[in-house]
Structure 1
């Protein structure tokens, strides 16, 4: 999922240079929501009232985060935006501790610190704290909240329906953001449409489905640390496509992020060590 997200930076930069940001987001998520409801409308109908409401809440959180992040990006450099957005890796364990009263092993906090340092090396050449930074930081807080809530609320048998509801609400939130200028404008040409369709179907609907499924099986804090590989993949695609050159900061920063991910994946589960089934141990992390 994060590899797909990392592949989209070049596409987004090109498209939002030719159409308003809110319009791009609205069209992208409307297409994604339509595709998901065509495929999974029966799964939506099987959701009970509680899960339907939870899907709506999750969609509002994520959609608002998307808008805040994109508005912030218009005011600051992409590298600073990438770092500040990645701060959800810090917010996620804090929110899980405060809201869910989960105990975090010391190694989790070590991995959070490593991932944050790695993100800084990947993204930062200086940081000015202005309005765009605060908007992006708020979006990171919302992404952390989404990760925690999604992990807490998702059940494996409801993945398809919950994903579709979230996507529909995200589309509605982004559509409302275009109301000030009379609704969304469409992509201006064929190449822009191809980029929007990729963003909608693969990086939108597909990624939301993968995230919802994965978080039905993975603790929120571990998911957040794995997600910090997004800028690593983004840097890799930028180098591979010739739009950037490989630097020591990429190597060291990317190495720290990957090391943090493997650190939390190699943590022995106490329940497994005690002879419990792996699924029971999952809930102790």
Structure 2
């Protein structure tokens, strides 16, 4: 099987990990504020990756400043995603936040075209639209009107979209392990600073909070699997596939989250939610099918995508 197949299978595994850890994180932030929790989570993940990096380099730090900058930029994009999503959740519902965050799947091909002039293929356009519609049915159907929280979460979606696009641009130039390590430490630092400014971070010093079984389990799972492993896998996988396909595959995260919620806390999906999950799945499948040479797709490509702007 091709490297692209295994890369995209790895991204699907990442979506599975992030989706299944949603309930774990939701329980943990009852003990620690969100930014404080993320600071601890990303710092531990960074330590793990740094130790692996030192072992790989036989105890020597060989990175140059030029290699560190892309990781810092990726970390900033990732922090924007997490921070604005957290702030937005103070003023909007989780379902709307999930839908708006998922709009990054549509933003990625549009921003890729605007920045790099890369034309998205018809099948990736259809896959993106299908996934976005599925996200709407899964997360936002019958929700209330727009709020300031929705605007904050929209900024979050841009952060995640730019993270995917920039990752595609730099993973071919900088060692993946170094890139991931710098990025994770950057998020940890920015979350720590934000927690000091906006949250009661001193709860970390209270043993009843930091040493509770729920918190310890959540930190271990999210730091090791949901952060260190997942972001290393994403960085590595994006060397072999396109940013748009990454965005579509990662929309499976809320599907896995919905399945996990049903199994663990018996949270049931509505009819629209089930249809949304199906649309997301088919959006991912459409983006993978070798159907570019069929007549309708050839016509669309010739009519709309091959035109000189």
What TM-score do you get using the length of structure 2 for normalisation? 0.82
Sort the Cα spacing of 1:194 and 1:173 in 2 relative to 1 into closer, same or farther, 3 A.
same
Distance 1:64 1:246 in 2: 30
Give the C-alpha shift of residue 45 in structure 1.
3.3
Could you tell me which residue of structure 2 aligns to residue 278 of structure 1? Answer: none
Distance 2:211 2:74 in 1: 31
Residues 1:167 and 2:184 are matched in the alignment: yes
RMSD, matched Cα: 1.9
Deviation track 1:119-148 (CA, whole Å, cap 9, x = no partner) reads 011111314211111111101011000100
155-164 or 26-35, which moves further after superposition?
155-164
Residues 1:91 and 2:104 are matched in the alignment: no
Distance 1:131 1:22 in 2: 20
152-161 or 106-115, which moves further after superposition?
152-161
Distance 1:153 1:142 in 2: 16
Sort the Cα spacing of 1:184 and 1:208 in 2 relative to 1 into closer, same or farther, 3 A.
farther
Could you tell me which residue of structure 2 aligns to residue 50 of structure 1? Answer: 66
Q: How does 1:1-285 map to 2 (within 5 A)?
A: 1-41=14-54, 42=56, 45-124=61-140, 125-155=142-172, 158-180=175-197, 183=201, 185-186=203-204, 187-267=210-290
Distance 2:251 2:175 in 1: 26
233-242 or 181-190, which moves further after superposition?
181-190
Sort the Cα spacing of 1:148 and 1:136 in 2 relative to 1 into closer, same or farther, 3 A.
same
Distance 1:47 1:130 in 2: 44
Distance 2:100 2:283 in 1: 18
Does structure 1 retain, via aligned residues, the 8 Å contact 2:133–2:279? yes
Sort the Cα spacing of 1:127 and 1:152 in 2 relative to 1 into closer, same or farther, 3 A.
farther
